[in-house]
Amino acid sequence: MYTSSNAEDLSAIQQLFYGSTIFVTGGTGFLGKILLNKLFTSCPGINTIYVLVRNKKNKNVHTRVEEIFEDPIFNTLKKTTPKFRFHIQGIAGDCLLPGLGLCLEDRKMLIDNVNIVFHMAATVRFDEKLKTAMKINVNAAHDIMLLCKEMSNLKSVVHVSTAYTQCPQKIIEEKFYPPPSDAKNLMLMTECIPDKLLEHITPHLLGKWPNTYTFTKAVAEDVVKNSATDLPVGIFRPGIVISTYQDPVCGWIDNFYGPTGAIAGAGTGVIRTLRCDPNAVANMVPVDLCVNSIIATSWDVHQRYKY
C-alpha cells in the first residue's frame, strides 16, 4: 500500500487516481465490474468510488452493491486488499429518470467531492424500444454532463460509447460526426409521442442505422460534444467487448450478449446455422484490455485539458 510519502513512485496514471474520488455509472454491469476491480488493484490511494445503483427486484442499493463483490473475479482482491470495500459506496439513482434519479443530498455530495467520472451505463439491446434507449443512452448522457458542469474539482470525464456509432460510414475516424438526428428534437419527440406511434415511425427515424442501440449512442456523442463545453471530457469507443484475456482471471464473462451467445448456442447445439457476412470483420476486444484503455483514456483527457 502506498502512502503519501512515496506517492511520487506511482506511474503517471496512478498519480491521477491517487487521492481522487470517482463516480461510476454502469458499475454493476459487465464492464463496470472489471473497471472496479482494476481500479482497486492497480490504482492505490483512491479515496472513494461512488457507484450509481438503482433499486431492483426488492433489493436496495446496499444489497445490490454487496452482490457485485460476490462475483469470483473479486476473490483475489479480497485477499490482497480486504479493506477495499470501505472505499466504495452505492448511490441511489436510475438512468431512466430525469436528473439520473438523484436526490438533492446525493447530488450535492457528488458535486462537492467527485474528481473523475466514468459514464458507462447504457442499454445494449439491439431491439430496445426507442423511448427506453433514448432515456438511458441519450438523456442520461445529457444529465451526466449537466452534473459534471457543477463539479468544481473535476479532473476527467470518460463517456463510453461504441465503435459502431457511425456504422453507416465505411471508414470511422477519431472525430465527431453529424448526428443521425437532432438530439433536442428527438428527446422531446420520444417523450411526447404515444408509444405505439413511436414504434411505428422508429424504422423511419433510424434511417441507415441498423438498430436503436447504435442510433442512440450516435446521438449521445453529439449530446456530449454540445453539452461538455469547457469540460475535461473524452469519448471512448470500444469494439465488441468479450470475455477477459487474463485479468483478473482468464475467460470470465457474466452475460450472453453478442458473440458469446452465438458461441454458447453453437457449442450446445442450439444454434446450427448463423447468417453473416464472411467478409465482415468482427472487432472484438477482451474486457480487461478494454478497461485498461478506458482508465488510460481518463488520464489522457486530463493531460490534454490540463495542457
The dihedrals phi and psi of 303, each to the nearest 5 degrees, come to -65, -45
Domain carrying residue 198: 4-306
Q: How does pLDDT run across 128-146, given as a tens digit for each residue?
A: 999 999 999 999 999 999 9
- Nearest Cα to 19, choosing from 83, 85, 87? 87
Residue 212: CB atoms within 10 Å: 23
Q: Which helix (H) or strand (E) holds 263?
A: helix 258-267
pLDDT(279) > 60: yes
CA–CA distance, 142 with 138 (Å, rounded to integer): 6
Q: How far is CA 248 from CA 38, 87, 104, 130, 257, in A?
A: 8, 20, 37, 36, 21
Grid cell locating 106:
446525493
473475479: which residue's cell?
A: 73
pLDDT(76) > 70: yes
Look over the chain and give the mean of its residue pLDDT values, rounded to a whole number.
93
pLDDT(87) > 60: yes
Q: Calculate mean pLDDT across residues 101-118.
A: 98
CATH of the domain at 32: 3.40.50.720
Cis peptide before 82 (omega within 30 of 0): no
Ramachandran category for residue 207: left, alpha or beta (phi over 0 → left; psi -120 to 50 → alpha) = left
Amino acid identity, position 234:
G
pLDDT of residue 235: 98
Q: CA 13, 22, 68 angle in degrees (round to 5)?
A: 105
Q: Judge contact between 102 and 93, C-beta under 8 A.
A: yes
By CB neighbour count within 10 A (0-12 exposed, 13-18 middle, 19+ buried), where does 269 fall? Answer: exposed
Q: How does pLDDT run across 168-190, given as a tens digit for each residue?
A: 998 999 999 999 999 999 999 99
Amino acid identity, position 293:
S
The dihedrals phi and psi of 234, each to the nearest 5 degrees, come to -135, 155
Q: How does pLDDT run across 206-262, given as a tens digit for each residue?
A: 999 999 999 999 999 999 999 988 899 999 999 999 999 999 999 899 888 778 888
CA–CA distance, 203 with 225 (Å, rounded to integer): 26
Q: Judge contact between 92 and 61, C-beta under 8 A.
A: yes
Q: CA 163, 185, 138 angle in degrees (round to 5)?
A: 35
Q: Judge contact between 213 and 128, C-beta under 8 A.
A: yes
Q: Judge contact between 247 and 38, C-beta under 8 A.
A: yes
Residue 238: CB atoms within 10 Å: 21
Residue 89: CB atoms within 10 Å: 17
pLDDT of residue 3: 44
469507443: which residue's cell?
A: 237
Instruction: Note if the pTM is more than 0.75.
Output: yes
How many Å is the Cα radius of gyration of the chain? 20
pLDDT of residue 5: 41
Confidence class of residue 6 from pLDDT cuts 50, 70 and 90? Answer: low
Domain count, the chain: 1
